[in-house]
Chains A and B, each alone.
Chain A
């Protein structure tokens, strides 16, 4: 009888109308199923809100869409000056500018998800206390918007690769699982942090610092091979290490992904995502009371 005691059961009555049951929050795993179905019914809201994020962001700004490029390009310039002019950083035989940009691009994608979505529920408190819709749509649309920025930034990477005559090989197909894992991990953390931020505003305040430390704990400005082997075990606990390094390897160095690190990252992301979603749905029930 476990299934019957779930928090929100959707069943079809004799008349064909769906019956929704609202119960006190619980942690039952099969909730994911009904939550997923509900999210599917609200897919139009995901589309509209994501479009909205993109169109509102650059309204009344002169540069407009170019802002999606400014952040990774500026960082690329800074790191290129520091690590190939001021001091030499191993670059695995690729021009340093491309080398660093190919990692900054997925990193910026991840960092944008983190900083925007951590505060997204609190920023939409007016909506949350007045209307019901699946709340995960808020962090989700920030992931979608960040992904569009990521694609725009990808055009620049493509341009740089043409400029430096770097060929694209079949290894580039690995980008699909790599980006999927990166997105899943980003979404999992977005769900988790946004819901924590509702009761602890410290999360949003700590975010810029955390992201800065995290970037240097990830092979963005240096290659993974520069990390001493005796530290690799601890280093690989960071799921981004395997993901970002693999992103750069399959694209620039025509090698398969860093398999052990990437598998670890995939497992972490795929376990974390349903757990984070479950936790989010559990806390969603009382979100409006605390926000």
Chain B
């Protein structure tokens, strides 16, 4: 029995170019612009899948893959251009928290307003009122206009209302990242609880979160479904995708391609290729290159980017060891680290070859790696460290302590 079925669904957007400048000012120009043939953009192309009752499906893909269009279609916000979507049972979308909040209304009034907008009955809200207020932890301020709330309180109240919907199908966006750590934990617990009794569709670009929640993953790219199956395989599909997607970075045009990276592989402690590692694991990165001519003083770099594009860390040959002189032909550079410091998440990888500070080759987003929770510590990154029990005097007594491997975290 299906919960959700998409049958050859496509969505087309017509984009009218907004011309700026003097030409667009005249009335005639405006009318011409209005009736000019628009640009056609297919956000989704012929997507079909079925979600069984009780299943938890994750949908991932890079920006522009059609994830949010899919979300809007499922939520009923917009209609497909062709094809059909069948939804069996009540679908609730946990998309944007605080939908329909009005600043002048009190907390209670806003619970009713937002709750009915999300499809609840007033009676149902009255029954759940206490649970909603307690979950949000705003009982003391419940009769105060929401405009006097802190932004955190608004977000918590918004999520709390949405979390008390009683759907057959739950549509999740990346809303789980609201509030402080304690509230986030509560949110995830609530979602896991809901998961036990309803079908879940989770749309995200964070593979780790999807992995935690879903049994099945669909990978989208440029409006098409390119993978549908077990979570483990999705990782490979997603990283293969990243490799093909190599949209050339602006700098490459001026690059003298005397050498280039031809493959990049992650290996675990046993030398086996991996796509998923844990924080604190040993990791090796094998970079294979091809040099067309001899390149003196070359340096290799591997960059890790978070899903939002921030650079998290870099492996480089520049700071240590002898200078690298590449001979024509193929070769391999291998980086290795004893303990990976990256926190859980998915990372996008760039690989570069430089010579005297100028770029010889830049493979943009040529791979991805998934880091799962391993040695979990608080903070932005895990820092390998050792410890021992000691007293103040013994520090002075022993200058060079050899680390006892059993004491390593």
> Which residue numbers of A lie inside 8 Å of B, CB to CB?
7, 13, 15, 17-25, 42, 44-45, 47-49, 52, 55-56, 59-60, 127-133, 285-289
Contacts and interface: CB of A to CB of B under 8 A. Distances in A.
A131 B80 contact: no
A289 B104 contact: no
6 contacts: A22-B73, A23-B79, A44-B122, A56-B102, A56-B104, A129-B77
B84 A127 contact: no
Contact of B100 (A21, A24, A131): A131
Given A17-B89, A20-B86, A24-B82, A131 B99 contact: yes
The main secondary structure of chain A at its interface with chain B is mixed
B225 to A, nearest CB: 18
A97 B121 CA distance: 45
A7 to B, nearest CB: 8
A245 to B, nearest CB: 39
Given A130-B95, A130-B96, A22 B77 contact: no
A49 to B, nearest CB: 7
B168 to A, nearest CB: 6
Interface in B75-129: 75-91, 93, 95-96, 99-100, 102, 104-105, 109, 112-113, 116-122
A60 B76 contact: no
B40 interface: no
B76 A45 contact: no
Contact of B85 (A15, A18, A21, A287): A21
A24 B81 contact: yes
Contacts of B292: none
Contacts of B72: 129, 288
Given A52-B102, A288-B78, A18 B113 contact: no
B1 A132 contact: no
A185 B378 CA distance: 63
Given A13-B88, A52-B102, A56-B104, A22 B117 contact: no
Contacts of B83: 23-24
Nearest to A17: B89
The 6 closest A-B pairs by CB, nearest first: A285-B79, A132-B76, A45-B116, A17-B89, A22-B85, A48-B116
B49 interface: no
A22 B80 contact: yes
Contacts of A60: 104
Nearest to B11: A289
A26 to B, nearest CB: 10
Q: Which of A23, A56, A288 has the most CB of B within 10 A?
A: A23
Contact of A131 (B73, B75, B89): B75
A286 B79 contact: yes
B13 interface: yes
Given A24-B81, A56-B105, A285-B79, A48 B87 contact: no
Contact of B117 (A18, A21, A133): A133
Contacts of B121: 44
